Amino acid sequence: MDRLEELLLSWNALVIFRGLKTDGVLSRLAALLSANEDSAARRVDAYAAFAEALFAHTCSLTEYVKKRVMEDDNFYIRRCAQGLPIEAELEACLKAELHTLGELAALDSETVRKSIGYEGYLPAWRTEPVDLEAEFRAHLGALNTRGFGMYAAHRMFAVRQGVITPVKNPDSVRLSDLKGYERQKRAIVDNTLALLGGRPAANVLLYGDAGTGKSSTVKALVNEYADRGLRLVEIGKAQAGDIPAVLEELRGNPLKFILFIDDLSFAQENDDFYTLKAVLEGSASARTGNVAVYATSNRRHLVRERFSEREGDDVHRNETIQELTALSARFGLTLGYFKPNRREYLEIVRALAEDYGINMDAAVLEAGAEQFALSGRSPRAARQYIDSLRRG
């Protein structure tokens, strides 16, 4: 039995990392290894199909295998994340499989080309030395900052049809990009650092005028502290019924999560309202120490209340209205974001101009900024003005 056949058999025997067999690149590599009995034309085709799949990501097979191993979501890594004991049999299995995957990562293209027996051109891929077991052990020791599975590969997620899904092209805004509102930013940063440090953290409501950077602030936090184990899961306000399942999915994960609800408001009492209320009040079924709810709203009182609703045949209508309008009080930290006055607005403009190296007479810069913001001063207007100057 030659080396390639032995490697294929070891690949087929994977248990802990069996999920890798469905990977689009590695499954093509397995198909290439199993093509020994096929015609030369089929072997060449299998080689090219694998190279195409690999090169779409990287030219290094070692790099690709290592990345997939570190991001794999399997029962072994979940047990480690939950602090559960690992039996000797599982440890032996892990060691053997990491050896197999290390051999796969070291498989050089020249060896495979020789097995095909084709004299024409076939592209080469790279391999590098790697101690996959040592790297994986180090990865296990840093699960609280690196995460595992899709949470290791991505930092922002959205709930779609009840399923947590990675956001492929997340907003890259950083805290340093956001000018003004220093008191609010300091408060939300301190709260987020408490969450990351395993200390009690409040649920947060950012409310106020549009264009003041509420949503950007929340996303900037994740970009700032992703390397310390912070992730964001965005859920729509009409998806509040999915929150218990989302919290159950995140419970026990070694990372820390912001459950983000943008533009939160309710027209009336409904199931979503009461689900969110239960989460904010920390009911036994909703409580989890690694998740905090961060919400934004243009309203301080989250529920659209009309004067006509103060009338009616509900004997306890006043109590009902109070319950509706007091939902915001369930947030432990409430921060107001309002449109800046002229001085604050121009300070934001000047700070952005400095960041982007725009050298302009101060009076001209400020006059242009004021003219640009005829519809209202806001950080968004300031950024749009600076962007217009950058475009020339």
**In this structure, which amino acid lies at residue 87?**
E
Domain that includes residue 330, residue range:
154-337
Domains of the chain: total = 3
d(C-alpha 208, C-alpha 165), whole Å: 29
Lowest mean pLDDT among 4-8, 90-94, 119-123, 239-243: 239-243
Q: Do residues 53 and 69 share a domain?
A: yes
CATH of the domain at 236: 3.40.50.300
Residue 149 lies in a domain: no
Q: Confidence band (pLDDT; 50, 70, 90) for 354?
A: very high
Residue 329 lies in a domain: yes
**Lookup result for tokens 């952005």:** 352
Q: Do residues 258 and 356 share a domain?
A: no
Q: What is the mean pLDDT of residues 256-266?
A: 88
Q: Do residues 183 and 228 share a domain?
A: yes
Q: Do residues 258 and 208 share a domain?
A: yes
Q: Do residues 121 and 178 share a domain?
A: no
Give pTM, 2 decimals.
0.82
**In this structure, which amino acid lies at residue 59?**
C
Residue 357 lies in a domain: yes
Q: Do residues 331 and 351 share a domain?
A: no
Q: Do residues 76 and 177 share a domain?
A: no
Q: Confidence band (pLDDT; 50, 70, 90) for 306?
A: very low
Q: Do residues 162 and 310 share a domain?
A: yes
pLDDT, one tens digit per residue, over 97-111 is 999 999 999 999 999
pLDDT, one tens digit per residue, over 142-179 is 999 999 999 999 999 999 999 999 998 999 999 999 99
Q: Which of 143, 176, 192 is the last residue of a domain?
A: 143
d(C-alpha 168, C-alpha 155), whole Å: 9
Please determine, for residue 113, whether its predicted confidence score (pLDDT) is greater than 80. yes
Q: What is the mean pLDDT of residues 70-99?
A: 95
pLDDT, one tens digit per residue, over 210-231 is 899 999 999 999 999 999 999 9
Please determine, for residue 87, whether its predicted confidence score (pLDDT) is greater than 80. yes
Q: Do residues 98 and 247 share a domain?
A: no
Q: Which helix (H) or strand (E) element contains residue 367?
A: helix 362-372
What average pLDDT does the structure give for the chain?
88
d(C-alpha 39, C-alpha 118), whole Å: 11
Please determine, for residue 121, whether its predicted confidence score (pLDDT) is greater than 50. yes
Q: Do residues 212 and 250 share a domain?
A: yes
Please determine, for residue 25, whether its predicted confidence score (pLDDT) is greater than 50. yes
Q: Do residues 331 and 356 share a domain?
A: no
d(C-alpha 28, C-alpha 55), whole Å: 12
Q: Do residues 380 and 304 share a domain?
A: no
d(C-alpha 123, C-alpha 145), whole Å: 37
